[in-house]
Amino acid sequence: QSALTQPASVSGSPGQSITISCTGSNTDIGGYDYVSWYQQKPGKAPKLVIYGVNNRPSGVSNRFSGSKSGITASLTISGLQAEDEADYYCSSYTTYSSNWVFGGGTRLTVL
């Protein structure tokens, strides 16, 4: 069982917006603004698309945005494109000694 909870799947049509939620606790998401999101395509390593709740690394499309409220973080992808189809994982800094926890992942299907 993952420390952070995500929906198993979401879907949307090209051009639409989707939001993926990620729920944790006060020892991770609720306690720090260090939520990250990763995109993973088949056969590839995870790729950082959001860090620090709502910051995008260089080269990541501005269609990706993040937010947080209490113990729940969200990833929004606007203007969905076929290339966005992938698994998305949230993660957070945590007070536990591991310092890093993950969500179980959400499969995004672009219809």
Q: Does 24 bind other proteins (CB under 8 A)?
A: no
Q: Does 32 bind other proteins (CB under 8 A)?
A: yes
- Give the residue, chosen from 22, 28, 29, 46, that forms a contact with other proteins under the rule CB under 8 A: 46
**From 16-24, 47-55, 58-66, 68-76, span contacting other proteins (CB under 8 A):** 47-55
Q: Does 100 bind other proteins (CB under 8 A)?
A: yes
Q: Does 52 bind other proteins (CB under 8 A)?
A: yes
Q: Does 99 bind other proteins (CB under 8 A)?
A: yes
- Give the residue, chosen from 54, 103, 108, 110, that forms a contact with other proteins under the rule CB under 8 A: 103
32 vs 35: CA distance, rounded Å: 8
